[in-house]
Amino acid sequence: MHAVHLANRGETTKPDPADSEPYVVALVGSPRPNGNTSFLVDVVLAELERHTLRCEKIMLSEYNVLPCEGHDECGKFSECPLDDDMSMLTEKVYAAQGLILATPVYYENVSAQMKAFIDRNCFSYEHNVELQPQVAGLIAIAASTGTDETIEALKRFLSLSSSGSIPMYAMTGHAQKAGEAAVNGALGDEARRLAHKIADALSQS
Protein backbone atom coordinates (compact mmCIF):
# COMPACT_ATOMS: atom_id res chain seq x y z
CA MET A 1 0.00 0.00 0.00
CA HIS A 2 1.05 3.57 -0.46
CA ALA A 3 -0.37 5.37 2.56
CA VAL A 4 2.13 7.91 3.82
CA HIS A 5 3.56 6.79 7.17
CA LEU A 6 5.05 9.71 9.07
CA ALA A 7 8.38 8.27 10.13
CA ASN A 8 10.39 11.44 10.69
CA ARG A 9 9.32 13.45 13.69
CA GLY A 10 8.57 17.05 12.85
CA GLU A 11 8.39 16.38 9.12
CA THR A 12 5.26 17.85 7.56
CA THR A 13 3.75 17.53 4.11
CA LYS A 14 0.68 19.65 3.48
CA PRO A 15 -1.88 18.32 1.01
CA ASP A 16 -1.49 19.93 -2.40
CA PRO A 17 -4.61 21.98 -3.24
CA ALA A 18 -4.10 20.93 -6.86
CA ASP A 19 -4.77 17.30 -5.95
CA SER A 20 -8.31 16.44 -6.94
CA GLU A 21 -8.87 13.50 -4.61
CA PRO A 22 -9.90 14.00 -0.97
CA TYR A 23 -7.26 13.85 1.74
CA VAL A 24 -7.79 11.20 4.43
CA VAL A 25 -5.84 11.21 7.70
CA ALA A 26 -5.79 8.16 9.98
CA LEU A 27 -4.76 8.98 13.55
CA VAL A 28 -3.74 5.83 15.39
CA GLY A 29 -3.54 5.80 19.18
CA SER A 30 -1.90 2.40 19.57
CA PRO A 31 1.58 2.19 21.14
CA ARG A 32 2.22 -0.83 18.90
CA PRO A 33 3.10 0.03 15.28
CA ASN A 34 2.41 -3.57 14.26
CA GLY A 35 -0.49 -4.18 16.63
CA ASN A 36 -4.06 -5.20 15.86
CA THR A 37 -5.42 -1.66 15.69
CA SER A 38 -2.65 -0.49 13.38
CA PHE A 39 -3.15 -3.53 11.14
CA LEU A 40 -6.85 -2.83 10.72
CA VAL A 41 -6.14 0.81 9.90
CA ASP A 42 -3.80 -0.42 7.16
CA VAL A 43 -6.65 -2.54 5.77
CA VAL A 44 -8.95 0.49 5.72
CA LEU A 45 -6.34 2.69 4.05
CA ALA A 46 -5.47 0.08 1.44
CA GLU A 47 -9.14 -0.09 0.48
CA LEU A 48 -9.43 3.70 0.36
CA GLU A 49 -6.39 3.88 -1.88
CA ARG A 50 -8.14 1.49 -4.26
CA HIS A 51 -10.72 4.26 -4.51
CA THR A 52 -7.82 6.59 -5.48
CA LEU A 53 -8.05 8.54 -2.22
CA ARG A 54 -4.94 10.20 -0.78
CA CYS A 55 -4.22 8.68 2.62
CA GLU A 56 -1.85 9.48 5.47
CA LYS A 57 -1.33 7.36 8.57
CA ILE A 58 -0.08 8.95 11.78
CA MET A 59 1.09 6.75 14.65
CA LEU A 60 0.78 8.99 17.70
CA SER A 61 3.29 6.90 19.64
CA GLU A 62 6.02 8.03 17.24
CA TYR A 63 5.51 11.70 18.11
CA ASN A 64 6.01 13.86 21.14
CA VAL A 65 2.57 14.90 22.41
CA LEU A 66 2.85 16.27 25.92
CA PRO A 67 -0.12 16.20 28.32
CA CYS A 68 -2.21 19.36 28.47
CA GLU A 69 -1.16 21.54 31.40
CA GLY A 70 -4.50 23.35 31.69
CA HIS A 71 -3.23 26.92 31.32
CA ASP A 72 -5.94 29.38 32.37
CA GLU A 73 -4.61 31.79 29.72
CA CYS A 74 -4.86 29.24 26.88
CA GLY A 75 -7.23 31.41 24.84
CA LYS A 76 -4.85 34.38 25.06
CA PHE A 77 -1.76 32.56 23.80
CA SER A 78 -0.82 33.03 20.15
CA GLU A 79 0.55 29.49 20.20
CA CYS A 80 0.57 26.63 22.67
CA PRO A 81 3.55 27.08 25.05
CA LEU A 82 4.27 23.33 25.05
CA ASP A 83 7.18 22.58 22.74
CA ASP A 84 6.29 19.33 21.00
CA ASP A 85 4.81 17.93 17.77
CA MET A 86 1.20 18.82 18.45
CA SER A 87 0.90 21.87 16.19
CA MET A 88 2.22 19.90 13.22
CA LEU A 89 -0.20 17.04 13.91
CA THR A 90 -3.24 19.28 14.30
CA GLU A 91 -2.35 21.05 11.06
CA LYS A 92 -2.76 17.74 9.27
CA VAL A 93 -5.81 16.56 11.19
CA TYR A 94 -7.70 19.83 10.78
CA ALA A 95 -6.98 19.81 7.03
CA ALA A 96 -8.42 16.32 6.57
CA GLN A 97 -11.53 15.83 4.47
CA GLY A 98 -11.78 12.29 5.77
CA LEU A 99 -10.66 11.56 9.33
CA ILE A 100 -10.07 8.15 10.93
CA LEU A 101 -9.57 7.86 14.68
CA ALA A 102 -8.37 4.44 15.81
CA THR A 103 -7.44 3.21 19.27
CA PRO A 104 -7.06 0.06 21.31
CA VAL A 105 -9.30 -0.05 24.37
CA TYR A 106 -7.54 0.55 27.69
CA TYR A 107 -9.61 0.55 30.88
CA GLU A 108 -12.72 0.80 28.70
CA ASN A 109 -11.59 4.04 27.07
CA VAL A 110 -9.13 5.42 24.53
CA SER A 111 -5.40 4.83 24.90
CA ALA A 112 -3.13 7.29 26.71
CA GLN A 113 -1.70 8.43 23.38
CA MET A 114 -5.13 9.23 21.96
CA LYS A 115 -6.29 10.90 25.19
CA ALA A 116 -3.26 13.18 25.25
CA PHE A 117 -3.98 14.23 21.67
CA ILE A 118 -7.66 14.82 22.43
CA ASP A 119 -6.91 16.95 25.49
CA ARG A 120 -4.42 19.10 23.59
CA ASN A 121 -7.17 20.15 21.18
CA CYS A 122 -8.24 22.55 23.91
CA PHE A 123 -5.96 25.12 22.28
CA SER A 124 -7.87 24.85 18.98
CA TYR A 125 -11.17 24.96 20.87
CA GLU A 126 -10.15 28.13 22.74
CA HIS A 127 -9.18 29.76 19.43
CA ASN A 128 -12.37 28.76 17.58
CA VAL A 129 -10.56 26.42 15.20
CA GLU A 130 -12.84 23.55 14.27
CA LEU A 131 -12.55 20.15 12.66
CA GLN A 132 -14.34 20.06 9.33
CA PRO A 133 -14.06 16.57 7.87
CA GLN A 134 -16.77 15.48 5.50
CA VAL A 135 -16.79 12.04 7.15
CA ALA A 136 -15.16 10.32 10.13
CA GLY A 137 -14.35 6.67 10.70
CA LEU A 138 -13.93 5.39 14.25
CA ILE A 139 -12.15 2.18 15.24
CA ALA A 140 -11.97 0.63 18.72
CA ILE A 141 -10.36 -2.78 19.30
CA ALA A 142 -10.56 -4.46 22.71
CA ALA A 143 -9.42 -7.66 24.33
CA SER A 144 -12.82 -8.01 25.99
CA THR A 145 -15.02 -5.04 26.97
CA GLY A 146 -15.23 -1.27 26.52
CA THR A 147 -15.60 -0.83 22.76
CA ASP A 148 -18.92 1.04 23.00
CA GLU A 149 -17.58 3.40 25.67
CA THR A 150 -14.47 4.07 23.61
CA ILE A 151 -16.44 4.86 20.46
CA GLU A 152 -18.58 7.27 22.48
CA ALA A 153 -15.42 9.02 23.74
CA LEU A 154 -14.23 9.50 20.15
CA LYS A 155 -17.66 10.79 19.14
CA ARG A 156 -17.62 13.30 22.00
CA PHE A 157 -14.25 14.60 20.85
CA LEU A 158 -15.54 15.12 17.31
CA SER A 159 -18.72 16.79 18.52
CA LEU A 160 -16.88 19.15 20.87
CA SER A 161 -14.32 20.02 18.20
CA SER A 162 -16.78 20.93 15.44
CA SER A 163 -19.89 23.04 15.05
CA GLY A 164 -21.52 21.00 12.30
CA SER A 165 -22.78 17.45 12.15
CA ILE A 166 -20.05 15.10 10.95
CA PRO A 167 -21.19 11.77 9.51
CA MET A 168 -19.52 9.11 11.66
CA TYR A 169 -19.10 5.40 10.93
CA ALA A 170 -17.67 3.06 13.54
CA MET A 171 -16.25 -0.42 13.69
CA THR A 172 -15.40 -2.37 16.83
CA GLY A 173 -13.80 -5.74 17.36
CA HIS A 174 -11.98 -8.02 19.73
CA ALA A 175 -8.40 -9.28 19.57
CA GLN A 176 -6.72 -10.65 22.66
CA LYS A 177 -3.27 -11.45 21.28
CA ALA A 178 -0.83 -9.63 19.02
CA GLY A 179 -1.38 -10.56 15.38
CA GLU A 180 -4.87 -11.89 15.96
CA ALA A 181 -6.53 -9.29 13.74
CA ALA A 182 -4.38 -10.37 10.78
CA VAL A 183 -5.90 -13.86 10.82
CA ASN A 184 -9.44 -12.80 11.68
CA GLY A 185 -11.23 -12.58 8.36
CA ALA A 186 -14.37 -11.09 9.90
CA LEU A 187 -12.40 -8.13 11.28
CA GLY A 188 -10.73 -7.56 7.93
CA ASP A 189 -14.11 -7.60 6.19
CA GLU A 190 -15.48 -5.12 8.70
CA ALA A 191 -12.51 -2.81 8.09
CA ARG A 192 -13.12 -2.92 4.34
CA ARG A 193 -16.81 -2.15 4.87
CA LEU A 194 -15.81 0.88 6.94
CA ALA A 195 -13.54 2.02 4.10
CA HIS A 196 -16.38 1.73 1.60
CA LYS A 197 -18.63 3.89 3.78
CA ILE A 198 -15.93 6.55 4.05
CA ALA A 199 -15.23 6.45 0.31
CA ASP A 200 -18.93 6.69 -0.54
CA ALA A 201 -19.38 9.69 1.76
CA LEU A 202 -16.41 11.49 0.20
CA SER A 203 -17.60 10.75 -3.33
CA GLN A 204 -20.95 12.39 -2.57
CA SER A 205 -19.51 15.52 -0.94
CATH number at residue 105: 3.40.50.360
pLDDT on residue 201 = 97
Domain count, the chain: 1
| Domain housing 196 | 23-71+83-204
DSSP-assigned letters across all residues of 154-202: HHHHHHHT-SS---EEEEEEE--STTTGGG-HHHHHHHHHHHHHHHHHH
187 is a domain residue = yes
36 is a domain residue = yes
Closest Cα partner for 198 from 2, 4, 50? 50
12 is a domain residue = no
pLDDT on residue 22 = 85
3-class SS at 121?
coil
What sign does the CA torsion over 68, 69, 72, 75 have?
A: negative
Cα Dmax for the chain:
50
16 is a domain residue = no
Residue 79 neighbours by CB under 8 Å, 6+ apart: 87
165 is a domain residue = yes
pLDDT on residue 16 = 53
> Model confidence over 118-138: pLDDT tens digits?
999 999 999 999 999 999 999
Give me the torsion for CA of 83, 87, 88, 93, rounded to 10°. 150
pLDDT on residue 205 = 76
170 is a domain residue = yes
pLDDT tens over the chain, length 205 residues:
334 443 333 343 444 544 557 899 999 999 999 999 999 999 999 999 999 999 999 999 999 999 999 999 999 999 999 999 999 999 999 999 999 999 999 999 999 999 999 999 999 999 999 999 999 999 999 999 999 999 999 999 999 999 889 999 999 999 999 999 999 999 999 999 999 999 999 999 7
DSSP-assigned letters across all residues of 5-38: E--STT---PPPTT--SPEEEEEE--S-TTSHHH
pLDDT on residue 70 = 96
7 is a domain residue = no
2 is a domain residue = no
> Model confidence over 155-171: pLDDT tens digits?
999 999 998 899 999 99
Cβ atoms of 85 and 65 closer than 8 Å: yes
3-class SS at 135?
strand
